[in-house]
């Protein structure tokens, strides 16, 4: 059974039209991450939540926002998508309880196309 | 800072061939090291990990040893199968950087019958 679920799997939007991607988890993990993955590149961390604490990467554009209304859900909002934002967006979770880093659990990703 | 450098692909091997995918890292602290695999159309999933120097991670016939002296974590498998065709990512995470994960660029492996 899937433990990290992303919706939608495929999203097509128009240039400048806001889009929201969702992620839910059944693992009760403290930490939720959003990564952007472009073709043939490493996943790039956009931001993560440790419980309710939001941690933004310094180079994440302001166009990208996130919300975590509760432990189970996290959303990625792209306010005005540009052509360069077309990518696979990966949600991941980890326990984040300190000590040795635990593994990341990934969803299957949401592929965004911008027309 | 922390970074991972991974062998570039794509790699194409015949079934039952020996596989090595090189991975080296730079870290300020004492990271944990991971190999993730991404099968076509799926998300990343953990293949194996090692949390301290000289640890060997293993799973599904794959192995990697945490070598602090050479800052490496090379992935090996003695006999690959068609079902191993996927993209492999080396990654590190360090408690000193808030458990953030740093990924290599990925190596695409295709195994042909």
Give residue-wise pLDDT tens across range A69-78: 999 999 999 9
Pairs of CB atoms within 8 A across A/B: 60
Confidence of residue A101 (pLDDT cuts 50, 70, 90): low
Indicate if the alpha-carbon torsion angle A75, A111, B7, B53 is positive or negative: positive
Percent of chain B topping pLDDT 70: 96
Minimum CA–CA partner of A111 in chain B: B41
Residue closest to B65 by CA, chosen among B100, B98, B108, B20: B20
Least confident piece of the model among A20-24, A45-49, B17-21: A45-49
Residues 40-99 on A with a CB inside 8 Å of B are: 40-43, 45, 48, 50, 55, 90, 92, 94, 96, 98-99
- Do the beta carbons of residue B35 and residue B77 sit within 8 Å? no
Decide the pairing of beta strands A73-78 and B56-59. unpaired
pLDDT at A34 over 90: yes
A57: closest CA of chain B, how far (Å): 10
- Do the beta carbons of residue B60 and residue B75 sit within 8 Å? no
CB-nearest partner of B44 from A48, A90, A102: A90
Query: Which of B44, B59, B109 to mutate: most A Cβ within 10 Å?
Result: B44
Comparison of pLDDT for B41 and B70, the residue scoring more: B70
- Do the beta carbons of residue A71 and residue A56 sit within 8 Å? no
CB-nearest partner of B43 from A45, A98, A109: A109
B93: closest CA of chain A, how far (Å): 6
B45: closest CA of chain A, how far (Å): 7
Query: Which of B99, B100, B107 to mutate: most A Cβ within 10 Å?
Result: B99
Max distance between CA atoms of chain A, in angstroms, equals 44
> So what's the pLDDT on residue B30?
83
Interchain proximity A43–B44, CB inside 8 Å: yes
> So what's the pLDDT on residue B98?
64
Query: Given CB atoms, is A7 within the 8 Å cutoff of chain B?
Result: no
> So what's the pLDDT on residue B28?
82
């Amino acid at each position: 059974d899937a433990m990290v679920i992303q919706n939608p799997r495929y999203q097509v939007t128009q240039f400048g039209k806001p889009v929201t991607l969702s992620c839910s988890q059944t693992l009760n993990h403290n930490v939720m991450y959003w990564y952007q993955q472009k073709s043939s590149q490493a996943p790039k961390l956009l931001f993560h939540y440790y419980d309710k604490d939001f941690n933004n990467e310094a180079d994440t554009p302001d166009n990208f926002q996130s919300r975590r209304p509760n432990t189970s859900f996290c959303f990625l909002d792209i306010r005005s998508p540009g052509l360069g934002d077309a990518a696979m967006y990966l949600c991941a979770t980890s326990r984040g309880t300190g000590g040795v880093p635990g593994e990341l659990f990934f969803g299957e990703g949401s592929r965004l196309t911008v027309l | 800072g922390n970074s991972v450098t991974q062998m570039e692909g794509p790699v194409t091997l015949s079934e039952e061939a020996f596989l090595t995918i090189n991975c080296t890292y730079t870290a300020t602290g004492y990271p944990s090291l991971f190999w993730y695999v991404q099968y076509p159309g799926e998300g990343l999933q953990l293949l194996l990990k090692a949390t301290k120097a000289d640890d060997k991670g293993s799973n599904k016939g794959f192995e990697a040893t945490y070598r602090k002296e050479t800052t490496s974590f090379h992935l090996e498998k003695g006999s690959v199968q068609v079902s191993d065709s996927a993209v492999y990512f080396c990654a590190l995470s360090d408690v000193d950087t808030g458990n953030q994960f740093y990924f290599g660029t990925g190596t695409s492996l295709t195994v042909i019958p």
